[in-house]
Chains A and B, each alone.
Chain A
Amino acid sequence: MVSAADQKIVLDARGSFCPGPLMELIRGIRQAKVGEVVEVWSSDQGSRTDIPFWVQKSGHGLVGVYEEAGYARFVVKKLR
């Protein structure tokens, strides 16, 4: 059985420039339910600071930032 917490929305924003990936994440978070996890992939440098800043400011949870080849995965949990 899949619980709400196991649902994950993955948004591939690679190739999109600042503030594109952040905007994608915000859109994803809005559509998600509280407790769900949204993951955004970004190759944009601005995301490294912008996304964690936004997550903190908007009261969600940054599960982690994972480096991949040429991009990073930002995993965010919707908390409110």
Chain B
Amino acid sequence: MPNKLSMVVFSGTVDRLYPAAIMASGAVAMGMDVELFLTFYGLDAFRMGQPQKNQKMDVNYAELAPMLAQLMKEKNVPSWYEMLLKAKEMGNVRVHACAMTLDLMGMKKEHLDPIVDDVVGVGEFVSNAKEGEITLFL
């Protein structure tokens, strides 16, 4: 059985993109392969230019968002995107765009950030995830 962590990244808010990047880093550190499947708002967060400027936070925690953003800035926490780039540099992290969402939004791979490796259908992702031990939905 491949040693693998798969994640469905559905949410596009920064507070959820962080766990995706941090879990990917932890998995790579432990020698695991990582597969990210970006769909809906999660895919929107990877549109060209978005990883650098997206500031969206979960509205349920709107009152905490400015404080958290300030703390992260003060403490020099790298962005989720930098963390993900680093994880990708260190190990086998594959970033897949959901074909259906791309079609829906009328986009092509070239409209996405270059960290995205390819465009796959849900069937391919699920059958790949099936071989691993852990699959998360974020």
Could you tell me which A residues sit within 8 Å of B by CB distance?
15, 17-20, 22-23, 26-27, 50, 54, 57-58
Contact = CB atoms under 8 A, between A and B. Distances in A.
B75 interface: yes
Contacts of B29: 19, 22-23, 26, 50, 54
Contacts of A54: 29-30
25 contacts: A15-B75, A15-B76, A17-B75, A17-B77, A18-B22, A19-B22, A19-B25, A19-B26, A19-B29, A20-B78, A22-B29, A23-B25, A23-B29, A23-B86, A23-B87, A23-B90, A26-B29, A26-B90, A27-B90, A50-B29, A54-B29, A54-B30, A57-B30, A57-B31, A58-B31
Interface in B1-54: 22, 25-26, 29-31
Contacts of B77: 17
Contacts of B90: 23, 26-27
Top 5 A-B residue pairs of the complex, sorted by shortest distance between their CB atoms: A19-B25, A19-B26, A22-B29, A17-B77, A26-B29
A60 B25 CA distance: 20
A50 B75 CA distance: 21
A50 B25 CA distance: 12
A26 B30 CA distance: 10
Contacts of A15: 75-76
Contacts of B31: 57-58
A58 B25 CA distance: 16
Most-contacted residue by chain A among B22, B26, B77 (CB, 10 A): B26
Contacts of A23: 25, 29, 86-87, 90
Contacts of A50: 29
A57 to B, nearest CB: 7
Contacts of B78: 20
Interface in B56-98: 75-78, 86-87, 90
Residue with the highest number of chain B CB atoms closer than 10 Å, among A18, A23, A27: A23
B102 to A, nearest CB: 31
